[in-house]
Amino acid sequence: MKRLFLFVAICLLVVNLFAQDICISTPGTSLVLSAPIGGDLTHVYYGNKLTDAEVRVIAQIEPNNRSAYPVYGLGGFGERALSVKHADGNMTLQMTVTGVKSNKEGNANITIIEMKDKVYPFYVNICYKAYQDVDIIETWTEISHQEKKPVVLEQFASAYLPIRRGDVWLSHLYGSWANEGRLAQEPLAPGMKIIKNKDGVRNSHTAHAEVMFSLDGKPQENTGSVIGAALCYSGNYKLRIDTDDTDYHHFFAGINEDNSSYSLAKGEVFRTPELALTYSKEGLSGGSRNFHKWGRTYKLAHGNTLRKILLNSWEGVYFDINEEGMNQMMNDIASMGGELFVMDDGWFGDKYPRNVDNSSLGDWVVDKRKLPNGVAGLVKDAEKHGIKFGIWIEPEMANTTSELFEKHPEWALKAPQRDHVLGRGGTQVVLDLANPEVQDFIFDIVDNLMTDNPEIDYIKWDANMSITNHGSNYLPKDKQSHLFIEFHRGFEKVCQRIRAKYPDLTIQACASGGGRANYGVLPYFDEFWVSDNTDALQRVYMQWGTSYFFPAIATASHISATPNHQTFRTIPLKYRIDVAMSGRLGMEIQPKNMTEEEIILCKNAIAEYKTIRPVVQLGDIYRLLSPYDKLGVASMMYVSPEKEKAVFYWWKMEHFCDQHLPRVKMAGLSPAKQYIVRELNRIDNSPLKFEGKIFSGEYLMSNGLEIPYTHTVDYHKLNDYSSRVLYLEEVK
């Protein structure tokens, strides 16, 4: 009998060692790992949802010699996710699986694979969160040790994913101030592709921490297999794609380790940011729909609450804030059907009034010379007009010309024995958010505003400077390399405190425009400012790019004046409206400067946007014809989840005589449903031929509608722009 028990025990050990396959699944995707106790954790499969039988077969036939989290020091010269230096100088790791745990968290299944170094008491947990109502798997690591002295983390990626070579293309975003969210698409070639950020404060101006891989050739919007990845982190990041001499592209994503080596104390847990993964068989737009649904449901503050239509004061008056002007703007937006007024920069400062951009940041007291009745007076005025009130702040920053800096110069980031490298206005500095006192100060800015004026509905939170001074007066000298990481830990702590006390407050992430479009930021913010550039033509390109990962409900898009304040381009109001209505609609243009005809057009657009708002902000995106394809037209649409309503956008991107533009087929409709078509924001003297006509979804997706290249308007109103917004409703 003892021999039998021994035999069974050995069999169980063998099963554990050689046959522990883990399948992590969402409704439409599966990730398969091999995790034998005492062995290596390896990647087997990621893609379309597998059956139990397929999991068993694939685990047998697919190669499983690719580590799911490669570590440095032994067994090869390839790129690694984790590298460390032990206190004794040893720079190697050799991790083996010690256990697997699973639990549920809301609508998600959590899987934790525990690993330990074979020699050192050094531990890594590889964590997966698989949502059961959206096709997203989040993965991250938790790194700890019980060594006697600190271990230095030299490289600490959140995740690694091997992607089988073939005709694989990469789609990613790049840009700069006033030109954010530009789309780049390229085939992956041998060598290393790195996408990174080192700004310190903002992380989505020059590049984005989100990518998509098209697995079977040049990217297509609504067909083809796609893997999408989004690193959820507000700070510096690095994405690496190493195409070496193997059959795989090796994708790593995590915090940028440059100048950020981390001294990990005994018992401390270093948790890396989540990498969100998705897979779609429906092309890039399919990947976007997965990200959008996940973002609205789990990652975006109030992600399923419709956003208000607002007027912002910035392009109207810039720093020239005064009570009369603010009241006039509130009356104007209320009369047009708007719901919110936001007072931008220029309202604060006592000893140093904020009249230009070179003073007063940090002195968050009302300038009574501009606003004798303070913020409370403006809140009351907004209430009289039947709208909500919002306000601008830049709480992470200060100016050297400020009472705050005079009192607390040590709160600004700066290296010892170095002069300040100053930012905007020649006087701006970044506050040290690693310092708990600074965190309290920033929380108090919001808390004081809201305590004194609980009716405030909206805060525009700006951040207009990079970390250009590497040095913290709070961190000890042996932890100065923690600066970038601790800054964002402090930022997150402040945001968590604000959200805990003010859960209903709407907050926009503005960071010199689109510097904070990232899912590490958005759990605490309701939306982001796409760009300081409000030029409608350029916004088509920028909003197209951001739509790859972020839903329209988070995308602030405003109607601006003409000539545009950034490009000085003159674009007709109709076109500006049609572009702005593809995101969260707002206004920079001031009604007092508009003609009666323009006011009527804008007022009508606001009313019509309220009709389509649920479809645009909560619907499924289908990008149809990209502006980056240079075919003269850009087109996209949103479809309600029930497919009973849709909004179709068509923008002409250039104008030539004898021009031939492609006819755009629609997508996402129900083939069997019948839809009536109505044009919104119409300026033509006569309706389109298909106005009020009924078409099947099958017809619209197979043929599309012939869109006129120009508008039929009076001769003196002709121009070189043309755009259309069509509203489709099911006929039952």
Average pLDDT over residues 335-364: 98
* CA atoms of 590 and 326, how far apart (whole Å): 11
Average pLDDT over residues 154-183: 98
* CA atoms of 357 and 443, how far apart (whole Å): 23
Average pLDDT over residues 20-30: 96
What six digits make up the tokens of 376?
Answer: 């409370």
Average the pLDDT over each of 13-27, 322-336, 396-410, 518-532 and give the range with the smallest value: 13-27
**What does pLDDT average to over the chain?**
96
pLDDT surpasses 50 at 103? yes
pLDDT confidence bin for 63, thresholds 50/70/90: confident
pLDDT surpasses 60 at 10? no
Partner residues linked to 252 by β-bridges? 160, 240
Q: Which residues have C-beta within 8 Å of that of residue 105, sequence separation ≥ 6? A: 129
Interval 588-621: pLDDT, tens: 999 999 999 999 999 999 999 999 999 999 999 9
| Residue 172, helix vs strand vs coil | strand
Average pLDDT over residues 512-525: 98
What six digits make up the tokens of 75?
Answer: 């067994």
Partner residues linked to 573 by β-bridges? none
Q: What's the one-letter identity of residue 111? A: T
Phi, psi (deg, nearest 5) at residue 255: -60, 140
Average pLDDT over residues 61-89: 92
Q: 342-370+381-503 maps to which CATH number?
A: 3.20.20.70
pLDDT confidence bin for 59, thresholds 50/70/90: confident
Nearest-5° Cα angle at 627, 622 to 631: 110
* CA atoms of 613 and 592, how far apart (whole Å): 26
* CA atoms of 324 and 307, how far apart (whole Å): 27
Return the pLDDT at 647: 99
Q: Among all chains, which residue has been given the structure tokens 């068993």?
A: 56
Average pLDDT over residues 57-85: 91
Return the pLDDT at 64: 77
Average pLDDT over residues 226-235: 98
The DSSP code for 297 is I
pLDDT confidence bin for 65, thresholds 50/70/90: confident
Interval 446-457: pLDDT, tens: 999 999 999 999
Average pLDDT over residues 646-667: 97
Q: How many CB atoms lie within 10 A of CB 434?
A: 23
- Identical fold between 2-299 and 624-730: no
> Angle of helix 536-546 relative to helix 573-580, nearest 10 degrees?
10
* CA atoms of 449 and 321, how far apart (whole Å): 18
Interval 573-593: pLDDT, tens: 999 999 999 999 999 999 999
What six digits make up the tokens of 713?
Answer: 């308007």
Given 2.60.40.1180, 2.40.420.20, 3.40.50.720, 3.10.129.10, which CATH number is that of 624-730? Answer: 2.60.40.1180
Q: Which of 417, 423, 20 is nearest to 201 (CA)?
A: 423
Nearest-5° Cα angle at 28, 225 to 584: 80
Q: Identify which has the larger pLDDT, 8 or 427.
A: 427
Return the pLDDT at 143: 98
Q: Contact, 98 vs 107, CB < 8 A?
A: no
584-595 as b/e: b if 16+ CB within 10 A: bbbbbbbbeebe
Average pLDDT over residues 307-320: 98
Nearest-5° Cα angle at 152, 146 to 158: 90
The number of CA neighbours under 13 Å toward the Cβ of 653 is: 18
pLDDT confidence bin for 2, thresholds 50/70/90: very low
Return the pLDDT at 19: 47
pTM exceeding the 0.75 threshold for the entire prediction:
yes
Average pLDDT over residues 226-251: 97
pLDDT surpasses 60 at 8? no
Partner residues linked to 263 by β-bridges? 152
Query: Which burial class, exposed, middle or buried, applies to 425 when counting CB atoms under 10 A from its CB (0-12, 13-18, 19+)?
Result: middle
Interval 248-281: pLDDT, tens: 999 999 999 999 999 999 999 999 999 999 999 9
pLDDT confidence bin for 76, thresholds 50/70/90: confident
pLDDT confidence bin for 11, thresholds 50/70/90: very low
In percent, how much of the chain has pLDDT > 70?
97
* CA atoms of 413 and 628, how far apart (whole Å): 40
Phi, psi (deg, nearest 5) at residue 8: -60, -45
Return the pLDDT at 20: 87
Q: Where are the domains of the chain?
A: 2-299, 342-370+381-503, 624-730
Q: Which residues have C-beta within 8 Å of that of residue 143, sequence separation ≥ 6? A: 82, 123, 124, 125, 153, 156, 264, 269, 270, 271, 272
Q: How many CB atoms lie within 10 A of CB 100?
A: 17
What six digits make up the tokens of 393?
Answer: 């702040």
Given 3.40.190.10, 3.40.50.2300, 2.70.98.60, 3.50.50.60, which CATH number is that of 2-299? Answer: 2.70.98.60
